[in-house]
Structure 1
Amino acid sequence: SVRGGLENYFLVERILNEYEIDVCFHLGAQTIVPTANRSPLSTFESNIKGTWNILEAARNSKLLKALVVASTDKVYGESPTLPYRETDKLAATHPYDVSKACADMLCTSYYHTYGLPVAVTRCGNIFGGGDLNFNRIIPGTIRSVLRNERPVIRSNGKFIRDYVYAGDIADANLRLAEALLAGKEHGEAFNFSWEQPQSVIEIAKKVLKIMGSKLEPAILNQAANEIPEQYLSSEKARARLGWKPEWDFDTGLKKTIEWYKQYLKPA
């Protein structure tokens, strides 16, 4: 493995060349919304500069045949018409959302200008084992239950979001890369979600129910610069990539809970 920052162009270019990379998944970013609000410049460095470095290194590579770039549903901004579709305009307003929208548009630019074999994924809220950001609702609630502490909800609990299991997103990335290698979907963006929007409080209560806990969530109502309702249509991904979620929400949630039980159990 190689450790380094995406902000270092020469390192990114060297990695693609020395390791003879032909398929690249650009998943690295500063993804935490409150951090972006507090520190927009470092978020822009990571998410915008990091992406143009990947794109430029890919453009200069003689071997790279497919580049999949992770974006987010937040690039669509606040919309009166839901679910979001790929034909909707990008209308981000807050630092994290804008950083990803810029990255998204850079991909479009590199495809149209240089013919780069790049495509973009726009996903709902991804969950699964391995996510150690315990400010997020699912890992945070699981850890709280295991510690017998009240789960904390930063917002008012009413925000509506899409959720999708990490295993399904791994499959989505692979399908999109295969399409690029086959000469298809260059310059395209795809939404990936379960198409089952739920409120944050509903998610917390499902975790509590599955874990057999009677704890009550503490609602802080402190979230800032977040969009009240966001959810996606995955119709395009179904029609053109043959993608659909393999795991239903409860099954994915149970698998996730088991991972954290093992990870957080006392040594």
Structure 2
Amino acid sequence: MNILITGHSGFIGSHTADYFLEQGHIVYGIARSLRPNCPHRQYTIDIDNYDILSKLVNEKCIDIIVHFAGKPIVADCDKDPFGAFKVNGLGTAAILEAARYANVKKTIIIETDKVYGFQEKVPTTEDAVLNPGSPYEFSKVLAAMFCNFYREHYKMDVISVRPVNVFGPGDYSFTRIVPAAMRNIANGKGIPVQKHAVNIQRNFIYVKDVAKMMYLLATEKTKHNVYNLSTNESVSILDFATHITKILVHNVD
């Protein structure tokens, strides 16, 4: 099949593109910057540029779109909420419209578990009410609403995926807890844990497992439209810091 991966040069997108390629599919990648030594065809396209995006999807006879591209850093979205709404919200709409126009078989949109915001009931299920509390979360809720609209109104096969904290090789966003902790330890520093965050629970999933899940959702018949993607285990921030520090023989500050 012909697969289009948006954000293919990013952390999760690069692993997903590589996995599809390993399975024998033809992969096309789009992003704002080129990926060094890229093993598949790639293009520099802004996802909110509908005309160019739609032309590419048509010309390459794309069967499946997996959409990762966007503004993923919470702090960046806080500084530029309009940019977040435009890229994460309207960018998703552009992807869906290009998919509709080209009769793409299936479109997979990567959202986030953060769309649920604070929930009284845990673990959170896919039918929970969305409760955004930040520009990043709200921008992803916009994406979720566009997905639902295209599913309901145009009867398109659109899958929404809401992963928890993803970790693994290639993540250089040091505002995220795992790469930040690794960098501190590599520099001979401990991992600072703020008192108010000691008991906060986080769930982590390995990036290569996410890539495999994207492949299964793309190639297998699915029963649902929305999938939370996580493990069955949560860990407190303090336990996380203690565990990773013990592994690398350092002390927690």
TM-score range (shorter-chain normalised) is: 0.7 to 0.9
Question: Aligned ranges for residues 123-134 of structure 1 at < 5 Å?
Answer: 123-134=163-174
Distance 2:209 2:145 in 1: 25
Alpha-carbon contact 1:73-1:123 (below 8 Å) kept: yes
**Alignment gaps of 5+ in structure 1:** 218-267
Distance 1:103 1:67 in 2: 13
* Amino acid across the alignment from 1:192: L
CA drift at 1:40: 0.5
Q: Does 1:174 align with 2:211?
A: no
Equivalent residue for 1:57? 98
Using structure 2 for the length normalisation, give the TM-score.
0.79
Equivalent residue for 2:232? 195
Using structure 1 for the length normalisation, give the TM-score.
0.75
Question: Aligned ranges for residues 180-259 of structure 1 at < 5 Å?
Answer: 182=221, 184-185=222-223, 188-214=225-251, 216-217=252-253
Alpha-carbon contact 2:190-2:250 (below 8 Å) kept: no
CA drift at 1:149: 2.5
* Amino acid across the alignment from 1:79: Q
Change (3 A) 1:154 1:172: farther
Alpha-carbon contact 2:161-2:227 (below 8 Å) kept: yes
Equivalent residue for 1:15? 56
Alpha-carbon contact 1:138-1:203 (below 8 Å) kept: no
Q: Does 1:96 align with 2:133?
A: no
Alpha-carbon contact 1:86-1:191 (below 8 Å) kept: yes
Higher relative contact order (Cα pairs below 8 Å, separated by 6+ residues):
1
* Amino acid across the alignment from 1:149: K
Q: Does 1:2 align with 2:36?
A: no
Distance 1:5 1:156 in 2: 39
Aligned structure 1 segments of 4 or more residues deviating by more than 2 angstroms: 149-159
Q: How many residues align?
A: 211
Distance 1:150 1:96 in 2: 29
Distance 1:78 1:157 in 2: 15
**Alignment gaps of 5+ in structure 2:** 1-41
CA drift at 1:153: 4.9
Alpha-carbon contact 2:108-2:161 (below 8 Å) kept: yes
Q: Does 1:146 align with 2:183?
A: no
Q: Does 1:38 align with 2:67?
A: no
Distance 1:8 1:152 in 2: 41
Question: 1:235-266 CA deviation, whole Å, 9 max, x = no partner?
Answer: xxxxxxxxxxxxxxxxxxxxxxxxxxxxxxxx
* Higher percent of residues as strand: 2
Q: What secondary structure, in the 3-state scheme, does the structure 1 residue paired with 2:94 have?
A: helix
Q: What secondary structure, in the 3-state scheme, does the structure 2 residue paired with 1:129 have?
A: coil
Identity %: 30
Q: What secondary structure, in the 3-state scheme, does the structure 2 residue paired with 1:59 have?
A: helix
